[in-house]
Amino acid sequence: MTTDFTCSRCNKSNDPLGSPPLGGELGHQIQQQICQSCWAEWVQQQVLFINHYALQPADPEDRKKLREAMKEFLGLTPAANQ
């Protein structure tokens, strides 16, 4: 009952995400293109990114920086602006 899913970041046939990890178009893009393993790597990496740059996730500008870093880390195209 496995589907043919290949992660666009690691190019491996890992398990896909069961549901979008974020709301909106970007969340669906991540669900369709990124595996559970790569998403887990990002979750760990974002903590380091937030701490290193002293980001405040409640600040809209800092959220934008974090979203851009996530897209770069996951190798997503800048098509989704959510």
- For the chain, which residues make up each domain, given as ranges? 1-82
The pTM of the full predicted model, rounded to 2 decimals, is 0.84
Written as one string, the DSSP assignment of 23-41 is SHHHHHHHHHH-BHHHHHH
Bridge-partner residues for 16, per DSSP?
Answer: 35
User: Which pLDDT score is estimated for 75?
Assistant: 94
User: Which pLDDT score is estimated for 7?
Assistant: 93
In this structure, what token pair is assigned to residue 26? 């970007």
User: Which pLDDT score is estimated for 3?
Assistant: 62
Protein fold of 1-82: YggX-like (1.10.3880)
User: Which pLDDT score is estimated for 4?
Assistant: 83
Helix (H, G, I), strand (E, B) or coil at 14: coil
Q: Per residue of the chain (82 residues), what is the pLDDT tens digit?
A: 356 899 999 999 989 999 999 999 999 999 999 999 999 999 999 999 999 999 999 999 999 999 999 999 999 965 544 4
Chain-centroid distance of CA 28 in Å reads 10
